[in-house]
């Protein structure tokens, strides 16, 4: 009889330990606290694809990134109804990104360019207007000389009025500067 109670107690303690581990595991704090799996995904009664709790990922992003949320700076996507948050960002992180690798700000390693091809993105600096590191910022103008225009804005803006890459001379508009100084994310970069 005593043995039975010991076994029950043992199982109870193991159970409690499991609960504690599940809810306090450091692994669940891998990214910023709100970017944990269960913020966007669920196991049961999910509304969207890929076990997403919301019908679209954009709604999940904007719960915090809309005005009034914990981060309001990214409250609009580039050309509404054409691109969504996920076209430029990966909330799952791309591992190297968060751990000091290639891309900061959860920017994708590759985006689909205007010609439909996958184009690499290297975004290591937000750039500056006072001359500090600008390498691999929004618009680096092939600063590393690898022949690839891989700034986060360069990647798509290959054939516009102010950035036309075959003609290097035309690629002088605010080169190395922070594009968002004028084209803010909140306005979808359009102004």
Partner 1 sequence: MGLRIQIKKLVIYFFSLLLLLSFLFKNSLAYSTQENIAVIGHHEHEVLTSPVRIAIGHGNRIYVSDFKKKFVAIIKITKKKLKIIRTISINGNPLGVAVDRKGRIYVGNNSYNRIEVYTPKGKFKYCLEGEIKRPNDIAIASNGLIYVVASDENLVKIYNPDGSFRSSFGGSGKDYGQFNFPTGIAIDENNMEVIVSDFLNKRIQIFDYEGNWLRTIGGGWFSSVVDRPQGIAVDEQGRIYVVDPKQACVLIFSHSGKLITTFGEYGEDEGQLRIPLDIVINKKGDAFVTSYQNSRIEIFEGVVK
Binding site for partner 1 (CB under 8 A): 3-4, 7-8, 11-12, 15, 19, 23, 33-34, 44, 47, 54-55, 58-60, 62-64, 66-70, 72, 75-76, 186-187
Using DSSP bridges, classify how beta strands 110-112 and 118-120 pair: parallel, antiparallel or unpaired. antiparallel
Q: Give min distance, CB of 102 to partner 1, in A.
A: 29
Tell me whether residue 4 or residue 169 sits nearer to partner 1 (CB atom): 4
Tell me whether residue 76 or residue 179 sits nearer to partner 1 (CB atom): 76
Q: Give min distance, CB of 37 to partner 1, in A.
A: 15
Tell me whether residue 55 or residue 182 sits nearer to partner 1 (CB atom): 55
Q: Give min distance, CB of 178 to partner 1, in A.
A: 17
Tell me whether residue 172 or residue 181 sits nearer to partner 1 (CB atom): 181
Q: How far is CA 73 from CA 65, 160, 168, 171, 184, in A?
A: 7, 26, 32, 27, 8
**Residue the block writes with tokens 């995904």:** 41
Q: Give min distance, CB of 41 to partner 1, in A.
A: 13
Which of 113, 77, 110, 111 has the alpha carbon at shortest distance from 96?
A: 110
Rounded CA-CA distance 38/23 in Å is 12
Residue 22: Cβ within 10 Å count: 9
Q: Identify whether the C-beta of residue 108 lies closer than 8 Å to the C-beta of residue 120.
A: no
Residue 172: Cβ within 10 Å count: 10
Q: Give min distance, CB of 96 to partner 1, in A.
A: 27
Tell me whether residue 41 or residue 173 sits nearer to partner 1 (CB atom): 41
């Amino acid at each position: 009889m005593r043995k039975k109670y010991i076994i029950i107690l043992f199982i109870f303690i193991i159970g409690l330990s499991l609960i504690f581990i599940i809810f306090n595991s450091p692994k669940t704090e891998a990214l910023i606290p709100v970017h944990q799996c269960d913020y966007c995904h669920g196991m049961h009664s999910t509304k969207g694809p890929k076990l997403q709790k919301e019908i679209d990922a954009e709604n999940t992003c904007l719960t915090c990134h809309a005005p009034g949320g914990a981060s309001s700076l990214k409250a609009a996507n580039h050309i509404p109804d054409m691109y969504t948050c996920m076209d430029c960002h990966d909330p799952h992180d791309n591992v190297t990104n968060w751990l000091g690798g290639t891309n900061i700000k959860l920017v994708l390693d590759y985006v689909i360019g205007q010609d439909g091809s996958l184009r690499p993105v290297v975004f290591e600096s937000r750039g500056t207007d006072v001359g500090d590191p600008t390498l691999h910022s929004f618009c680096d103008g092939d600063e590393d000389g690898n022949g690839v225009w891989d700034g986060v804005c360069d990647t798509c803006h290959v054939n516009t009025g102010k950035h036309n890459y075959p003609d290097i001379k035309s690629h002088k508009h605010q080169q190395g500067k922070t594009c968002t100084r004028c084209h803010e994310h909140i306005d979808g970069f359009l102004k």
